[in-house]
């Protein structure tokens, strides 16, 4: 009887702990773990590669949304819009990449940050 109650209590505690796990924090912890295993030079290379993908994706989206069809036939206005998009895109990509670099620099100081998130998970 006591053994059955203890097993049931252990099962309830285990279930309670598992319900408290935040999948977002688990994902973040895993990402930090993987990044922590990479040499800094590889991370910097991946960051530059990511920046290029980011710029291409956002540029296409901005051109599609910010250049009306009627402007596409007016070369002066089209050039002006394209330059405006390129300028905005460069500013935005630099801001985003600086934020990523700051995060990576902070992460580089402590490669066990992913373990700290475990404490927040439950």
Please determine, for residue 116, whether its predicted confidence score (pLDDT) is greater than 70: no
Is pLDDT larger for residue 48 or for residue 15? 48
CB 82 within 8 A of CB 63: yes
* pLDDT tens, position by position, 48-91: 898 888 888 888 888 777 777 777 777 888 888 888 888 888 88
Cβ atoms within 10 Å of 65's Cβ, excluding its own: 9
Return the structure tokens found at 1.
């009887």
Contact 112, 32 (CB under 8 A): no
* Tokens linked to 107: 């992460």
Predicted pLDDT of residue 108:
56
Q: What integer is the mean pLDDT of 27-53?
A: 83
- Domain boundary assignment for the chain: 2-121
The mean predicted confidence, pLDDT, of the chain is: 77
């Amino acid at each position: 009887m006591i053994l059955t109650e203890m097993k049931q209590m252990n099962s309830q505690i285990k279930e309670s702990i598992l319900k408290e796990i935040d999948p977002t924090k688990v994902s973040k912890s895993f990402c930090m773990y993987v990044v922590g295993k990479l040499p800094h030079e590889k991370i910097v290379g991946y960051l530059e590669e990511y920046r290029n993908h980011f710029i291409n994706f956002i540029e296409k989206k901005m051109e599609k949304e910010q250049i009306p069809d009627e402007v596409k036939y007016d070369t002066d206005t089209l050039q002006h819009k394209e330059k405006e998009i390129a300028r905005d895109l460069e500013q935005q990509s630099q801001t985003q990449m600086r934020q990523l670099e700051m995060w990576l620099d902070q992460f580089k100081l402590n490669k066990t940050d992913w373990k700290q998130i475990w404490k927040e998970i439950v």
